[in-house]
Amino acid sequence: MDSNYELIIGLEVHVQSKTKSKMFCSCDANYFNAAPNSHVCPVCFGLPGALPVPNKRAIELCIKTALALNCKINQNTKFDRKNYFYPDLPKGFQISQYDQPIGYEGYIDIETKEGKKRIGITRIHQEEDTGKSIHSNGETLLDYNKSGVPLIEIVSEPDFRTKEEVTAYCKRLRQIVRYLSVSTADMEKGEMRFELNMSLRKRGESTLPKYKVEVKNIASISVLEKVIDYEFKRQSEILDNGELPQQETRGLVDMSGQTVSQRTKENEADYRYFPEPDIPLIEISQDMIEQIRAEMVELPQAKKDRYVKEYNIDADTAEAIITDSATYVTFENMIAGLSPNYIVEIAKWYTGDYFSLVNNKERHSGFLDSMLVDIVKMVVDKKITRANAKEVLEISYTQGSKPEEVVEQKGFEIVSDTGAIAEIVEKVIANNPKAVEDAQKNPNAAMFLVGQAMRELKGQADAQTVKDMVLEKISK
Ligand SMILES: [Zn+2]
């Protein structure tokens, strides 16, 4: 976006927690594909007299997320009523958190082309989801299966200046909640949703703009990117005309990213927040915090930094390995107990040839990840060439054969007998006097002799050893 304007973006991300039951009742929280209104009770419907009982597991998951995002924890926390009227909200209010959110003042470090950047987290709080309105044939149908499902809301500071930063943040955040088993964050199922707060200012200005446009209910990162593009263009045009875009909430027209005005933005007073009288105050003990902290796995960025530092793996390869838990667990199992020279090669083979096989070929049930380790060891130990190792890997992967057996059948074992190599090198030198003469003038020309010798050796020798030997013999 080459322009006179700079983006100012803040995000609110909703993540559906992975709990068995809903936030304030015992209804099954896994409502995906269930018949409408089959996961409901008087609490979900907000019937008079129904009392909410907070889900302890959900609160633990919210604390875990807050800790992972470097937040401070409000050890005295409470729930509040956020009042608004909407058909999918039968109580007339949503139980959320107002002035004592579970977590506050945290941050996430993201990586951009310009390096690492810290995005501030204003707050993390626990709330409940609403029901769902389905509009069809001029009618509105209501499904309350989603009503009361636990949601964690993560509110960022307006720290984003480019679309790339927003994307990097959303992906890292999704990775973090998945690593922690807080949420499956499956956007197709609506388990992770975004609200965008966006405005523009002239480049070089340092104060925040006097307006903010909010776009709600964005269901995927790709749509979020399109909305940013759309709004950038729309707001730039208004500013170019010397006007100020209206402070408002806009809705999505479709998945193209186009937005339309919905209403001028409510302010907090419109929600008439007040403490939820049916739920006692909640105390989060230091013991509870420490116990949750102790259960946490190493987070993606820390893991990536450690791979780069400890194993000398390049950043892109490390990023590919930390993609998800299954990918890094497989890697960590493979490298357990190995020395660093093997680990860095395994990382390359794993994310290169192995990933490509996973994507393109059927895996034989007899293939074990330890076979990849065996193959890479043979390469590092100069027992087989890289080119042959690729073939061995493919055969093992698709046929389940043991790498050592494939190497033996194919005659891939490198000739390590230097006497045998020397014999062939001498023969090649004797047969190519013209090439020897050229190579003595220009060492680059020696590659022809190396090639001839490698052909005689049927490729089963270490090319560097052969090259060294050729250079040594013609220099005499
Ligand atoms: Zn219920």
402 Cα–ligand 1 center, Å: 54
**Predicted confidence (pLDDT) at residue 252 exceeds the cutoff of 90:** yes
pLDDT attached to residue 463: 82
- Strand, helix or coil at 101? coil
CA 187 / ligand 1 centre spacing (Å):
23
Query: Does residue 405 surpass a pLDDT of 90?
Result: yes
Centroid of ligand 1 to alpha carbon of 73 (angstroms): 28
| For residue 1, pLDDT beyond 60 | no
Ligand 1 centroid to Cα of residue 233, in Å, is 44
Q: Which of 401, 302, 319 is nearest to 355 (CA)?
A: 319
The rounded Å distance from CA 34 to ligand 1 centre is 14
DSSP state, residue 187: G
What's the 130 CA to ligand 1 centre distance in angstroms?
Answer: 12
Torsion of CA 228, 234, 236, 240, to 10 degrees: 180
**Lowest-pLDDT choice from 49-53, 350-354, 414-418, 431-435:** 414-418
- CA angle (66, 284, 156) in 5-degree steps: 20
Task: Give the three-state DSSP class for 277.
Answer: coil
> Measured in angstroms, how far is the CA atom of residue 38 from the centroid of ligand 1?
10
Rounded distance between C-alpha atoms, residue 35 and residue 251, angstroms = 28
Q: Name the DSSP class of 52.
A: -
Percent of the chain surpassing pLDDT 90 = 80
Question: For residue 32, how far is its CA from the centre of ligand 1 (angstroms)?
Answer: 15
Q: What is the pLDDT of residue 476?
A: 61
Summarize the confidence of residues 143-172 as an average pLDDT.
97
Q: HSE of 421 in the Cβ direction (CA atoms, 13 Å)?
A: 22
What pLDDT digit, counting tens, does each position of 129-140 carry? Answer: 999 999 889 999
> Over the chain, what is the mean pLDDT?
93
Please identify which residue in the block is written with the tokens 């999704």.
174
Q: How many A from CA of 369 to the centre of ligand 1?
A: 45
Mean predicted confidence (pLDDT) in 250-276: 86
At residue 395, the pLDDT reads 97
Q: Give the model's pLDDT for residue 398.
A: 97
> For residue 82, what are the contacts with CB-CB under 8 A and spacing of at least 6?
93, 94, 95, 96, 98, 127, 271, 273
The whole-number average pLDDT for the span 275-286 is 97
Gap between the Cα atoms of 282 and 318, Å rounded: 40
CA–CA gap between residue 419 and residue 100 (Å, rounded): 78
CA distances from 273 to 46, 99, 107, 152 (A): 18, 9, 26, 18
| DSSP label at residue 398 | H
d(CA 83, CA 276): 11
The whole-number pLDDT of residue 458 equals 78
Name the residue among 331, 367, 365, 363 with its Cα closest to residue 350. Answer: 331
Q: Does residue 266 register a pLDDT over 70?
A: no
Q: What spacing in Å lies between the alpha carbon of 329 and ligand 1's midpoint?
A: 37
Q: How far is the CA of 39 from the centre of ligand 1 (A)?
A: 7
Q: Compute, in angstroms, the gap from residue 401 CA to the centroid of ligand 1.
A: 53
Report whether pLDDT(338) > 60. yes
Q: What is the DSSP letter of 21?
A: B
Look at residue 262 in the predicted model and tell me its pLDDT.
Answer: 87
* Ligand 1 centroid, distance to 127 Cα (angstroms): 15
pLDDT higher than threshold 90 for residue 441: no
Q: What is the pLDDT of residue 263?
A: 75
d(CA 336, CA 185): 30
Q: CA neighbours within 13 Å on the CB side: how many for 416?
A: 9
Cα 77 to ligand 1 centroid, rounded to whole Å: 23
Q: How far, in Å, is the centroid of ligand 1 from the Cα of 219?
A: 25
Indicate the pLDDT class of residue 446, thresholds 50, 70 and 90: confident
144 CA distance to ligand 1 middle (Å): 9
| Separation of CA 458 from chain center | 44
pLDDT for residue 418 is more than 90: no
* CA 25 to ligand 1 center in whole angstroms: 5
Ligand 1 centroid–CA 28 distance in Å is 8
Q: How far is the CA of 74 from the centre of ligand 1 (A)?
A: 27
Q: Is the pLDDT of residue 403 over 60?
A: yes
pLDDT band at 421 (very low <50, low <70, confident <90, very high): confident
Closest-CA residue to 130 (of 92, 161, 163): 92
Span from the CA of 26 to the centroid of ligand 1 (angstroms): 6
- Cα-to-centroid distance, 23 and ligand 1 (Å): 9
Angle (CA) 225 230 234, round 5°: 150
Mean pLDDT for 394-423 is 90
How many whole angstroms from 50 Cα to the centroid of ligand 1? 10
Q: What is the pLDDT of residues 293-319, one digit of tens each?
A: 999 999 999 999 999 999 999 999 999
Distance from the alpha carbon of residue 128 to the mean position of ligand 1, in angstroms = 11
**Other CB atoms within 10 A of residue 462 CB:** 18
Tell me: domain 418-474, CATH 1.10.10.410, correct? Answer: yes
Find the 318 Cα to ligand 1 centroid distance in Å.
43
Can you give the pLDDT at residue 232?
Answer: 97
Q: Are 429 and 412 a contacting pair, CB within 8 Å?
A: no
Average pLDDT over residues 86-101: 94
Could you tell me the distance, in angstroms and rounded to a whole number, from the CA of residue 55 to the centre of ligand 1? 12
Instruction: Please tell me the distance between residue 146's alpha carbon and the centre of ligand 1 in angstroms.
Output: 10
Q: Which amino acid is it at 416? A: S
In DSSP notation, 178-200 reads HHTTS----GGGTSEEEEEEEEE
CA of 47 to the centre of ligand 1 (A): 11
What would the pLDDT profile of 191-220 be if each residue is shown by its tens digit? 999 999 999 999 999 999 999 999 999 999
Given a contact cutoff of 8 angstroms between Cβ atoms, the answer to whether 235 and 245 are in contact is: yes
CA of 419 to the centre of ligand 1 (A): 80
- Cα(13) to centroid(ligand 1), Å: 24
CA-based R_g, the chain, Å: 30
Mean pLDDT score, 341-365: 96
